[in-house]
Amino acid sequence: MDVDTAFLNLKLQEEVYIEILKFFELVTISANLKQYCLQLQKALYRLKQALQVWFLTVNTFFADIGFKPSNLNLNLFVKNGVYILLFVNNMLIISKRLKVDHVKVTIKKK
């Protein structure tokens, strides 16, 4: 499974500021780009904090639905013969077809 909007829906847990991009002056002509900055409210892809917030969100969600992280690999979650391997915003789900379909439906609801 690929989570397309994984990083766009995550709230940052700390204050992160970015410089105003150059094209912003087209929207607000009177803004002095060197005087102001923008505070991010949500994570963006490639932001250093985004991966951490994403992993904590997934880890909490999987714990809520009964999955436990493996002792050998923290990106591997296990529950009743279902294995989910997390790689950035992709999930490899391994089990019998009915169990995989059930887990996918549960994940999609979230």
**Which residue segment(s) compose the domain that 58 sits in?**
11-109
Whether residue 4 is contained in a domain is answered as no
Q: How many domains would you assign to the chain?
A: 1
64 within a domain of the structure (yes/no): yes
- Does residue 6 belong to any structural domain of this protein? no
Does residue 41 contact residue 11 with C-beta atoms inside 8 Å?
yes
97 found inside a domain: yes
Average pLDDT over the chain, rounded to whole? 85
Cα 103 to Cα 33, 41, 77, 91: the distances in Å are: 47, 30, 12, 11
What would the mean pLDDT of 19-27 be, rounded to a whole number? 68
**What pTM did the predictor assign?**
0.74
Say yes or no to pLDDT of 26 above 60.
no
- Evaluate whether residue 2 is within a structural domain: no
Positive or negative, the CA dihedral 79, 85, 88, 89 is negative
Residue 57 belongs to a domain: yes
At 14, the pLDDT band (50, 70, 90 cuts) reads confident
